[in-house]
């Protein structure tokens, strides 16, 4: 396995830890941390700071009823503890959960490129991209922030090469053309907080249909 | 504004005491620089270990008395009603009891582990869908025994220094940090205000993770 060289920025790790990140970006953070011990340690350091603040917080007295509910629950051995699914192949558990299956439901976008939408809400969207070796992802600019995590293969663009586990953070200023590496199909998890705007390949009018 | 006041905790690779000294020379005022040197893990961590290893209900009751008011306060401050906050606190406390076997005191103090459980549950509830979480690195009992007993104490020493560093901050900045972790700041506000670097603590946890990886590998090969 190649070494991860592109990590999450601090503010993103902190936003995840404090719970202020939307679902799509949280998915990328969870998927990256699943395979990056460096960022797992950074996240756990954030949580340690969160715990210090929690320890010093002025509390609010809970009701007597809460105490009763908690202690009555201790002996309930049948209680089901919700678990996120386990990793399946290249897909971390959080992605398996979002797919609702062990493999993506791909939709062809043309040129051999496929995508599978994982989530969409008012804060952003997350999808998987399937890019055949040597293919370019259509040139696009961003209306906001885009995070792209490589799950298989690699891609390269004007800013460098991204292999398995690497995450690219692209904002408004970046007008880039990622090209998949020749060694394998590149599969990425991409999340954005704004609709992507394609400049080539797909006319603007088609965007709502492809949801890209 | 906050960026100017950034504390540099990033002394990767240096031992905790040296990190504290480097820090004291920077911005800390001498009155406050008496170094805390905990010789044991904090009592909340001891209680949680007792819950994990002995299913100790008295220790659990202590955790409940310590954390339930704080958790409720935090959840209400980050926007929940009192009733909704109590529902989350109930789920968090029961999760602590049921998932205690996953707790690893060499990587997390009790309050850090509980902070994470509370955020997970709060976000599940607010968004009505499961929060994406990293795959667990399972530290089962047999691997845990082989680990250094000192690791939790060293983590506690790092934590004491971080607490001191936060206390030494100017009031306005300390308030921002508190509000960020309580959950009152948006993603955009946090992006503007990354005023607390956690490099030394990160390195300590990273070491614990490396040890765990190593042990898991050994177990697989046996």
In chain B the domains, ranked by start, together with CATH numbers, are: 2-35+147-221 (no CATH), 43-137 (1.10.1740.10)
pLDDT, average across residues A40-66: 96
**Which DSSP state fits A95?**
H
Bridge partners for A187 per DSSP: A130, A152
DSSP string, B134-154: PPP----HHHHTTS-THHHHH
Q: Which residue has the higher pLDDT, B138 or A2?
A: B138
Q: How far apart (Å, rounded) are the C-alpha atoms in residues A131 and A150? A: 11
Q: How many domains are contained in chain A?
A: 1
pLDDT of residue B212: 85
Decide if B198 and A79 are in contact by the 8 Å CB cutoff. no
Decide if B132 and A47 are in contact by the 8 Å CB cutoff. no
Q: Which pLDDT tens digit goes with each residue over A91-102?
A: 999 999 999 999
The total of other beta-carbon atoms located within 10 Å of residue B205's CB is 27
Q: Which residue has the higher pLDDT, B115 or B10?
A: B115
For A119, name the nearest residue in chain B, comparing CA atoms only: B129
- Pinpoint the alpha helices (H) of chain A: 10-17, 23-35, 37-55, 64-73, 93-99, 207-210
Phi, psi of A198 (to 5 degrees): -85, 140
For an interface test with B, which of A52, A64, A76, A151 has the most B Cβ atoms less than 10 Å from its Cβ? Answer: A52
CA distances in angstroms from B82 to A10, B77, B78, B158, B203, listed in the order given = 32, 10, 11, 34, 38
For B197, name the nearest residue in chain A, comparing CA atoms only: A10
Question: Which of B97, B180, B213 is nearest residue A18 as measured by Cβ atoms?
Answer: B180
For A123, name the nearest residue in chain B, comparing CA atoms only: B187
CATH number at residue A161: 2.60.120.10
Q: How far apart (Å, rounded) are the C-alpha atoms in residues A5 and A161? A: 9
B contacts of A74 (beta carbons < 8 Å): 57, 60, 94, 97
Look up the ipTM and state it: 0.89
Tokens of B162: 């971080």
pLDDT of residue B147: 57
Q: How far apart (Å, rounded) are the C-alpha atoms in residues B158 and B152? A: 10
* Cα angle, residue B77 at apex, residues B74 and B78 outer, rounded to 5°: 90
pLDDT band at B152 (very low <50, low <70, confident <90, very high): confident
pLDDT of residue A45: 96
Length of chain A: 212
Tokens of A201: 């390949």
B contacts of A41 (beta carbons < 8 Å): 202-203, 205-206, 209
B contacts of A86 (beta carbons < 8 Å): 135
Decide if A53 and B89 are in contact by the 8 Å CB cutoff. no
**Which DSSP state fits B195?**
-
For A70, name the nearest residue in chain B, comparing CA atoms only: B90
For A21, name the nearest residue in chain B, comparing CA atoms only: B187
Tell me how close the Cα of A205 comes to any Cα of chain B, in angstroms. 30
CA distances in angstroms from B3 to A115, B173, B195, listed in the order given = 39, 10, 6
pLDDT of residue A52 exceeding 60, the answer is yes
The total of other beta-carbon atoms located within 10 Å of residue A16's CB is 29
Tell me how close the Cα of A106 comes to any Cα of chain B, in angstroms. 21
CA distances in angstroms from A64 to B71, B90, B91, B156, listed in the order given = 15, 12, 16, 33
Decide if B197 and A26 are in contact by the 8 Å CB cutoff. no
Decide if B132 and A11 are in contact by the 8 Å CB cutoff. no
Q: How far apart (Å, rounded) are the C-alpha atoms in residues B76 and B118? A: 12
Give the number of A-B residue pairs with CB atoms closer than 8 Å.
203
pLDDT of residue B39: 75
Tell me how close the Cα of A129 comes to any Cα of chain B, in angstroms. 19
Decide if A51 and B72 are in contact by the 8 Å CB cutoff. no
Q: How far apart (Å, rounded) are the C-alpha atoms in residues A42 and B197? A: 10
A contacts of B67 (beta carbons < 8 Å): 54
Parent domain of A202: 1-212
Say which range, A37-41, A129-133, B216-220, has the weakest mean pLDDT. Answer: B216-220
Nearby residues of B114 by Cβ (< 8 Å), 6 or more positions away: A51, A54, B63, B67, B71, B92, B96
pLDDT of residue A108 exceeding 50, the answer is yes
Nearby residues of B70 by Cβ (< 8 Å), 6 or more positions away: A54, A55, A57, A59
Decide if B111 and A17 are in contact by the 8 Å CB cutoff. no
């Amino acid at each position: 396995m190649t070494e991860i060289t592109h990590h999450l920025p601090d503010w993103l790790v902190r936003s995840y830890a404090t719970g202020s990140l939307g679902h799509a970006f949280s998915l990328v953070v969870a998927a990256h941390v699943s395979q990056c011990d460096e960022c797992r340690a950074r996240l756990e350091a954030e949580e340690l700071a969160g715990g210090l603040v929690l320890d010093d917080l002025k509390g609010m007295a809970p009701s007597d009823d809460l105490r009763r509910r908690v202690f009555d629950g201790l002996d309930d051995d049948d209680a089901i503890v919700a678990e996120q699914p386990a990793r399946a192949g290249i897909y971390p558990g959080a992605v398996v959960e979002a797919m609702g299956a062990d493999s993506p439901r791909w939709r062809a976008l043309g040129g051999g490129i496929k995508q599978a939408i994982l989530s969409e809400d008012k804060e952003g969207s997350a999808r998987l991209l399937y890019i055949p070796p040597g293919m370019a992802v259509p040139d696009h600019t961003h209306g906001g922030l885009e995070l792209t995590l490589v799950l298989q293969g690699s891609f390269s663009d004007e800013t460098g090469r991204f292999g398995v586990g690497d995450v690219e953070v692209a904002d408004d200023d970046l007008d880039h053309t990622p090209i998949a590496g020749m060694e394998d199909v590149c599969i990425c998890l991409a999340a954005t907080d704004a609709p992507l705007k394609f400049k080539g390949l797909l006319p603007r009018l088609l965007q709502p249909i492809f949801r890209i | 504004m906050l960026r100017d006041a950034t504390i540099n905790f990033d002394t990767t690779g240096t031992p905790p005491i040296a990190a504290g000294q480097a820090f004291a020379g920077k911005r800390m005022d001498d009155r406050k620089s008496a170094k805390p040197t905990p010789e044991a893990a904090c009592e909340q961590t001891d209680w949680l270990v007792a819950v994990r290893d002995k299913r100790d209900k008295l220790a659990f009751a202590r955790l409940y008395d310590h954390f339930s008011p704080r958790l409720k306060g935090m959840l209400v401050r980050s926007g929940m009603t009192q009733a909704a906050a109590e529902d989350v606190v109930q789920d968090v406390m029961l999760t602590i009891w049921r998932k205690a076997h996953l707790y690893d005191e060499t990587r997390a103090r009790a309050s850090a582990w509980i902070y994470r459980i509370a955020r997970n549950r709060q976000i599940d509830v607010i968004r009505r869908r499961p929060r994406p979480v990293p795959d667990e690195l399972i530290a089962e009992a047999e691997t845990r025994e082989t680990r250094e007993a000192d690791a939790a104490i060293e983590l506690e020493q790092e934590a004491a220094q971080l607490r001191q560093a936060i206390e030494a901050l100017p009031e306005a900045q300390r308030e921002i940090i508190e509000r960020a972790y309580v959950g009152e700041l948006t993603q955009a506000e946090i992006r503007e205000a990354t005023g607390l670097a956690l490099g030394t603590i990160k390195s300590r946890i990273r070491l614990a993770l490396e040890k765990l990886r190593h042990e898991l590998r050994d177990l697989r090969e046996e």
